[in-house]
Chains A and B, each alone.
Chain A
């Protein structure tokens, strides 16, 4: 399996940045970057990452099962992640999640019919100080209110 030249270069650097025999440390970043390029973690990707990081494929599977940010199915163009863990929950995280769900017409780990949005209720993202927090792809949005979320989503929906 080969990736774009950019990603190949990135992987090369990644694998080289860990000490001899510790390439397993590259499993998570490799999966994340490759997922961005491929849209999802495919079985071929699992085998490839296992090979490159010199770990049994099942150890890659373990990582995918454990980390919710790794997906086996393609996500929407924008992946909306709403935190409902304790800090966010206390200041309206759950309402925010339900609002998003209603507005987009999809539930947890689902994708809109037009493929633009996918939604996920996530565990703590480490943004407690700015709760409630929403992460869209890799961008954090802090102190989000339902209104602010509407603006965000509407803004993204407009053809750019």
Chain B
């Protein structure tokens, strides 16, 4: 573990409800109670954010203190005698709830939060059954601040959680409190609307139903949903998201149970952009081009047509090209490369490359424990971000670094082509005009970084090819422990590389037996058959194109056969995030007419009479675990919703010397490659399409 050197802590002994406990001096009383299993109700106190002491729910009795004390702001001290259930405390809780409810509309039967509401729960447990207030309740109409954020002031209990998560957690600071007393309410940064990340963190953290989400509001009662923990299918950060599903429809994405690598964090894509799944343009039937037009056909006709075309081309000695996807599972990508190399006997295999992982692994040859995890970003003493607008392109990684800065005073350094949000707390933030200046800027930081105890370097496609080795040499020159993250764009960009969707590298970065063509060369070559699985690569000069996709992308629209595939929210299998952490998907819904890519490939193989092994995710995973270097990840961890870091080769990696093929798509918070176009949640916000390195962040 990389943690800052712990300073000597003294412990104190105190008594809570007659029980003697010891705790490090300075720990908050409410935390000590929690550890002891003694519940102290709290609204405004929220672990990880600044103290507010606004709600007074956490009052406890402490001997020698004249009045009840807010346990959320009192550090424990030697000899304290605390009572959390004395008659005075019980009465105070009742009174606080009576105050909180004095203007509350109590519209629980129609409130989104009903059943999951902390105010309901506390009133149930500690509240009074009646109120002494006879005044008319202040009512104000609900307000829409954006397509995804709504605010209902009468329900608000002014706990400031939303304000703090937005300001401290995200670094956005879009929410505030206006006026005072009974008129006090939360306000958005643009007067009557929001201009922000649209991440919905404020909605999730709200203990009551004051902030509600455009995607979910008034759609269901929470207990009518099933909750499916899976992995977000947008960016490479690999956040776990818990999908709320009712009658085969996803209606909510959140991670309130804090499971997974990301705790409660999700950006807007993880929280709302599941809506592409039910977009009306979703393909639900195979299509074959007949007389120039793509027409719907049955699965059996389509599969037979693909198999026949593949077999005939093979028999005639024709050429193939295969382009795989960056959202497909590891199993699908592994199976696809096997299909290409063993089945079609072609080495023309590629995918959309967005970060130079092979070059990094090659440069790190001989070193071990040098690839950072998302946990490391929260624990490292220092981090250096190169060439990425992290808060936009890698929201969760940015969140980890910011939390690290807030909780452990980590130093963050950025060297980017423009202003980034990290600059507001960074130890140093340098900008460069062109990538040729990049290493010069790094030299400027050298002495400061040398003084750090350790460092994690995150770098984008701004550093690729030979520059990666140069960067590692720079890291070596610092004389401290350095770990690396090669930033890639999409949910399984890393897995596509690890599984060998490359013309020169097989699974596990081993040299491919034969070298093939890279994607642009395939498109230019006028191959007899181009097979595109989950990518919008274009068809180039290919004579015949088979596309597997969820939508009629430009590539699919130009294809000869189109097979409708299932989304990541509809299948199992594993994906690997930007830090190499492997996680398991869980199917949440199904879309009639579609099939997972793995099944489609398996069925084509069967039609062709090829024996490529059993095509279930579990079976292929077993093959990957035993055959792909570094993928022998512990099953119990990934099967129970955890993440395990794959440890790829420690050795030289033969590079194809084509760094120009590595290109980040530069997605913002509101775009997500092809998928983003089909998410109305993303395209409907005013911030869409967003801008990297924008001055006003």
Decide yes or no whether B175 CB sits under 8 A from chain A: yes
Are A62 and B189 in contact, CB atoms less than 8 angstroms apart?
no
**A56 in the interface (beta carbon within 8 A):** yes
Q: 0/1 per residue, B174-189, Cβ < 8 Å to A? A: 1111111000000111
Contact of B179 among A56, A59, A65 (CB under 8 A): A65
CB–CB B175/A58 < 8 A: yes
Residues of B in contact with A (beta carbons under 8 Å apart): 167, 172-180, 187-189
Q: Which of chain A's residues have a CB closer than 8 A to the CB of B175? A: 58
User: When A61-B178, A66-B180 are in contact, do A56 and B173 touch as well, CB less than 8 Å?
Assistant: yes
Interface of A is mostly: helix
Q: Which residue of chain B is the closest to A58 with respect to CB atoms?
A: B176
A115 to B178, CA, bound (A): 28
Chain A, 61-76, CB within 8 A of any chain B CB: 61-62, 65-66
B167 touches A56 (CB 8 A): yes
Q: Give chain B nearest CB distance to A68 CB in angstroms.
A: 9
CB distance from B52 to the nearest CB of A (A): 14
- Whose C-beta in chain B lies nearest to the C-beta of A62? B176
Asked if A61 and B167 sit within 8 Å, CB to CB, the answer is: no
Across the A-B interface, the 6 shortest Cβ-Cβ residue pairs = A56-B173, A58-B176, A65-B178, A62-B176, A58-B189, A65-B179
Contacts of B173 in A (CB 8 A): 55-56, 58-59
Q: Are B179 and A66 in contact (CB under 8 A)?
A: yes
In the complex, residue of chain A having the shortest beta-carbon distance to the beta carbon of B180: A66
A39 at the interface (CB under 8 A from B): no
| 26 intermolecular pairs with C-beta atoms under 8 Å apart | A55-B173, A56-B167, A56-B172, A56-B173, A56-B174, A56-B176, A56-B189, A57-B189, A58-B174, A58-B176, A58-B187, A58-B189, A59-B173, A59-B176, A61-B178, A61-B187, A62-B177, A62-B178, A62-B187, A65-B177, A65-B178, A65-B179, A65-B180, A65-B187, A66-B178, A66-B180
Residue of A nearest to B175 (CB): A58
Known: A56-B189, A62-B178, A65-B180. 15 other contacts (CB 8 A): A56-B176, A58-B173, A58-B174, A58-B175, A58-B187, A58-B188, A59-B173, A59-B176, A61-B176, A61-B178, A65-B177, A65-B178, A65-B179, A65-B187, A66-B180
CA–CA, A56 and B179, complex, Å: 17
A72: min CB distance to chain B, Å = 12
Contacts of B187 in A (CB 8 A): 58, 61-62, 65
Report Cα–Cα, A61/B192, bound state, in Å: 13
Residues of A with C-beta under 8 A to B176: 56, 58-59, 61-62
A55's closest neighbor in chain B, by CB? B173
Q: How far is the CB of B50 from chain A (nearest CB, A)?
A: 13
**B424 nearest CB neighbor, chain A only:** A54
- Per-position 1/0 for A75-103, Cβ under 8 A of B: 00000000000000000000000000000
A14 to B34, CA, bound (A): 43
What chain B residues lie within 8 Å of A61 (beta carbons)? 176, 178, 187
Bound-complex Cα distance A66 to B177 (A) = 9
A119 to chain B, nearest CB (A): 20
The CA of A138 and the CA of B175, in the complex, are separated in Å by: 32
CB-CB nearest in chain A for B191 = A61
Rounded to whole angstroms, the CA-CA distance of A131 and B327 in the bound complex is 72
A65–B178 Cα distance when bound, in Å, is 5
Enumerate chain A residues within 8 angstroms of B167, measured Cβ to Cβ: 56
Q: In the complex, what residues of B have CB within 8 A of residue A55's CB? A: 173
**Shortest distance in angstroms between A126's beta carbon and chain B's nearest beta carbon?**
17
Question: How far does the alpha carbon of A62 sit from the alpha carbon of B172 in the complex, in Å?
Answer: 16
Taking CB as reference atom, which chain B residue is nearest A67?
B180
Q: Which of A18-77 contact B (CB under 8 A)?
A: 55-59, 61-62, 65-66
The minimal Cβ–Cβ distance linking A43 to chain B, given in whole angstroms, is 9
Chain A contacts of B179 at CB under 8 A? 65-66
**A55, A61, A62: which has the most chain B beta carbons within 10 Å?**
A62
Q: Which residue of A lies closest to B177 (CB)?
A: A62
Interface residues as binary, A97-120 with B (CB distance below 8 Å gives 1, 0 otherwise): 000000000000000000000000
Q: Nearest B residue to A57 by beta-carbon distance? A: B189
Least CB distance, A124 to chain B, in whole angstroms: 13
CA distance A50 to B177 in the complex (A): 16
Q: With A and B bound together, what is the CA distance between A65 and B188 in angstroms?
A: 13
